Amino acid sequence: MKNKWTKRLSVFLAAVMAAGLCACGSSAPDSTKEGTASSPAAESVQAEGSDEGISEESPYYGKGYDLAERKNVVLYVLGDAPADMDKVLEEANNKYLIPNLNTTLEIKFLNWSDYQTKYSLVLAGGEDVDLIYTASWCYYNEEAAKGAFKELDMDFVQKYLPYTYEQQPEVSWEQAKIGDKLYAVPKGNASFSNYDFIVARKDLIDKYGLTEPEDWETFKEFLTELAKVQGETGVIALNTNANRNQTLEPYLQAKGYDYFTEGFDYFYNAENKEELPAWDSVIYLYTSDLYLEYAKEMAELAKAGVWSKDAINDTNDATAYFENGTSGCIGWNFSAIDAGEKMEKAGLGTFAVYDVSPDIHMARSRYNGDMIAIATNSKQPERAALVLDYMKSDVDLNRTMLGGIRGEHWDLNEEGQREVLDAAENYSWNSWAWALNRADEPVMAGTDERRLAITESIDSRELFAEVAGFTFDSSSVATELSVVNSIVDEYEYSFSLGIYGDNTEAKFNEFKSKLEAAGLDKVTEAMKTQYEAFAAQ
């Protein structure tokens, strides 16, 4: 979703605190490598073009770029626009992008309720789009196969993303490739964004003597017990919907399964081992006995009233339900703790963090878990690349995009730790800019002990899996894969919400037959062939 060089939490905190202090007030792109502000890659650009229209202090001044004409770059991202998005964009444009690149940035949001239908339409239609968020799980392979993303050779990267090229871990470029071709710029920091845990209402657990969800079985017990007292609490045990599956990841983790290669529905049981798995240990999730058992368990939870009977039709952001106190828990990554903190701040209850797979070793998400691509239809790919380079490489601009205006939404204390200010409720840190993440983001001052504890626990069980180096080029089976994925979209949320009830196994067999008829075996064989070639190397 892995090159792992992460240190223990204490070392990591010290490093990023120091980085935050050093970066404070910087207006030139930062790097761990000496001399990046005078990047050799940037210097190599032909001394042609025009610096007219940009400041002599610009890190792009004198590098040969033609920046004489004011241009507007359009970036599409996922999620809901923060209330202060316009204010933050005005700051980013007036303080950074206009004086230093003679460019304005416009950001458009594809919200969680309909991005699946709108994403391809934006790229295929007549919309102005220069940059767009993508990921192994967000149409990267599919849209690259369609030709919707500009192929990026390393000459282009060195020329138009010079500072990013210098700063980015080398492994990140490899993990972002499809075969030997690159179609997007990956994030600069790999985290445990794929590791899900449960954030639950501790006040309700204490008041009603509920089972604490410390593994998968006790999680199910907790849900059914909380559902039984809904009439008293007014709280739905798991107020989930078809926007976010909050049970599948914890289930797979508890069973020891991890992604075989990100962006595809193939998994393997690592058994806490780093070595490459044998091919016969790899499963396609949706035709496996593992998934059938999951679907049956979801049908039982639905029957017990764990979530709303109308959840399949709910298009709201499920995170908000925990924040506003109407959900008894949320299953997700560290964003779940953010939701818990908002709920507590509103005085609606208290929360605790539970790991349902406490003995399982897992790998970090891969760098292709968050990326930004240049649209093939962009009329200004070079300018778009420069804007992306600036947002990723300049510490001050980067933190403006991630967290808003310093002194209004956030600030740094004397130790270089990030402090949350009152206006942060209108622009929370890293709510959409995941593909811009850097390794030197400042640690939040007064970080909640619950967050630190789960971080340290996960970090201590990091798995440096050799399979992280494998990426699958699906271009030869793009047609079959497209049909397979559309069938998955048709059925998966019905299974995860237990819609089929006592008819679950029959529906699973129907689902499985459709997948096989769509050419799943051909996709699997292509993946097997590529993996065996990779393993032989």
Q: How far apart are CA 131 and CA 136, in angstroms?
A: 16
One domain for residues 308 and 385 = no
One domain for residues 205 and 319 = yes
**Residue at 324 is within a domain:** yes
Token digits of residue 372: 């930004």
Return the HEC string of 413-434: CCCCCEEECHHHHHCCCCCCCH
One domain for residues 254 and 338 = yes
**Residue at 339 is within a domain:** yes
**Residue at 54 is within a domain:** no
Q: What DSSP state is assigned to residue 55? A: -
The sign one gets for the Cα dihedral 290, 296, 301, 302 is positive
CA distances from 346 to 16, 295, 341 (A): 30, 35, 9
One domain for residues 248 and 173 = no
One domain for residues 375 and 354 = no
Contact call for residues 154 and 44 (beta carbons, < 8 A) = no
Q: Which domain holds residue 133?
A: 71-189+366-443
Parts of the chain with a pLDDT under 70: 1-49
Beta-carbon contacts of residue 306 (< 8 Å; ≥ 6 apart): 223, 224, 226, 227, 236, 237, 238
**Residue at 18 is within a domain:** no
One domain for residues 399 and 346 = no
What pLDDT is stored for residue 12 in this prediction? 35
Count how many domains the chain has.
2
One domain for residues 160 and 181 = yes
Give the largest Cα separation in the chain, rounded.
73
One domain for residues 352 and 374 = no
Beta strands 71-78 and 131-134 are parallel
**Residue at 392 is within a domain:** yes
Residue that is last in its domain, among 408, 443, 478 = 443
**Residue at 262 is within a domain:** yes
One domain for residues 108 and 207 = no
What pLDDT is stored for residue 141 in this prediction? 87
One domain for residues 352 and 336 = yes
**Residue at 41 is within a domain:** no
Amino acid 358 reads: P
**Residue at 57 is within a domain:** no
> pLDDT tens, 269-314?
988 888 999 999 999 999 999 999 999 999 999 999 999 999 999 8
One domain for residues 167 and 110 = yes
What pLDDT is stored for residue 125 in this prediction? 85
One domain for residues 281 and 183 = no
**Residue whose entry in the numeric block shows the structure tokens 């800019």:** 433
> pLDDT tens, 114-148?
898 899 999 998 889 999 999 988 999 889 989 99
| CATH number for the domain that contains residue 170 | 3.40.190.10
What pLDDT is stored for residue 469 in this prediction? 80
Q: Reduced to 3 states, what is the DSSP secondary structure of residue 202?
A: helix
Residue that is last in its domain, among 411, 443, 475 = 443
